[in-house]
Amino acid sequence: MRPGGFQPSVSVCIPVLDGEAYLAETIRSVLDQSWRDLELVILDNGSSDASWEVATSFRDPRIRVERNRETLPQAENWNRAVGLCRAPLVKLVCADDLLHPRALELQVPPMRDDPSLAVLASRRHMIDEQSRVIVPRRGLGGGLVGLHSGSEVARKVIRNGANPIGEPASVLFRKEQFVTAGGWRGDRRLVMDLDLWMRLLQYGDFLGVPETLAAFRIGRGSVSAEHAQAIAAEQRDLLAEIGSSGAFEVRAVDVGIGKLALPLGRARRSALFRVSRIAARRDEKDRQERSEAAAAG
Task: Name the more confident of 232 and 80.
Answer: 80
Instruction: Say how far apart CA 258 and CA 235 lie, in whole Å.
Output: 11
Mean pLDDT (whole number) for 262-287: 69
Res. 176: pLDDT tops 80: yes
Instruction: Say how far apart CA 50 and CA 60 lie, in whole Å.
Output: 19
Give residue 226's pLDDT: 55
Give residue 221's pLDDT: 58
Give residue 293's pLDDT: 63
The pLDDT tens digits of the residues spanning 19-67 come to 999 999 999 999 999 999 999 999 999 999 999 999 999 999 999 999 9
Which regions of the chain carry the CATH code 3.90.550.10? 1-96, 97-184+193-286
Mapped to the 3 state alphabet, what secondary structure does the chain carry?
Answer: CCCCCCCCCEEEEEEECCCHHHHHHHHHHHHCCCCCCEEEEEEECCCCCCHHHHHHCCCCCCEEEEECCCCCCHHHHHHHHHHCCCCCEEEECCCCCEECCCHHHHHHHHHHHCCCEEEEEEEEEEECCCCCEEEEEECCCCCCCEEECHHHHHHHHHHHCCCCCCCHHHEEEEHHHHHHHCCCCHHHHHHHHHHHHHHHCCCCEEEEEEEEEEEEECCCCCHHHHCHHHHHHHHHHHHHHHHHCCCCCCCHHHHHHHHHHHHHHHHHHHHHHHHHHHHHHHHHHHHHHHHHHHHHC
Mapped to the 3 state alphabet, what secondary structure does 241-284 carry?
Answer: HHHHCCCCCCCHHHHHHHHHHHHHHHHHHHHHHHHHHHHHHHHH
Q: How confident is the model at residue 219 (pLDDT cuts 50, 70, 90)?
A: confident
**The domain made up of 97-184+193-286 is a member of CATH 3.90.550.10:** yes
Mean pLDDT (whole number) for 90-111: 98
Give residue 263's pLDDT: 80
CATH topology of domain 1-96: Spore Coat Polysaccharide Biosynthesis Protein SpsA; Chain A (3.90.550)
Mean pLDDT (whole number) for 194-216: 98
What one-letter code names the amino acid at 191? V
Give residue 258's pLDDT: 86
Res. 262: pLDDT tops 90: no
Mean confidence (pLDDT) of the chain: 90
Query: What is the percent of the chain where pLDDT is above 90?
Result: 73
Mean pLDDT (whole number) for 169-198: 97
The pLDDT tens digits of the residues spanning 122-171 come to 999 999 999 999 999 999 998 999 999 999 999 999 999 889 999 999 99
